[in-house]
Amino acid sequence: MILATTALRINEVAGLQVGDVDLPSGLLTVRRQTSPRAAAAWFSKETKGRRRRPVLIIEPLRATLARLTVGRARDARLLAGPRGGVITATLRDATGWDELVDDLGLAGLVRHGLRHTALTWMADAGVDLHLLQRVAGHQDPAVTSRHLQPDHQAVLDVGVAYSRW
């Protein structure tokens, strides 16, 4: 849910802490990512773009984030794997990912694809490219554009608008 609605990278989700979520303002702040340093070691570092950035919390995500934050210390890891470790290392197993995508008939869907999905949904909702770029943490709008996969209806709507013009 977090990946498909925020367009965060999996390592950025792994780096989220409870204090990064501000439900009253409706924003979460991406400050860090958690990545592997060696086979069994994980560490937090700056985001890929080396900048903090705000990301909108949409209404369908609010209940999930409330459940993950209520009564917890601000510096606690927002998500953890089934045995308390970093979620990045165990997401596929913890979520039953392979079975889920098979059941959906989307066997080629990868976790990073949810980042593309979120950015596309935001674009389909009318979010301007410069704001999508900021949410994604990209330096170049061309990189953001490559993440977008407009749905068929959006393409048809452009055709109708163009024909009217």
State residue 36's pLDDT score: 64
- Angle (CA) 44-41-87 rounded to 5° is 65
Instruction: Please state whether the predicted TM-score (pTM) of the whole model is above 0.85.
Output: no
Does residue 5 or residue 97 have the better pLDDT? 5
How far apart, in Å, do the first and last CA atoms of the chain sit?
A: 39
pLDDT tens digits, residue range 75-119?
998 988 777 777 765 666 767 778 888 888 877 777 777 778 888
CA distance 33 to 97: 21
The mean per-residue pLDDT over the stretch 131-159 comes to 78
CA dist., res. 65 & res. 56, Å (int): 12
CATH code 3.40.50.20 for 2-164: no
> What is the C-alpha separation between 25 and 13, in angstroms, rounded?
19
Looking at residue 89, its pLDDT comes to: 53
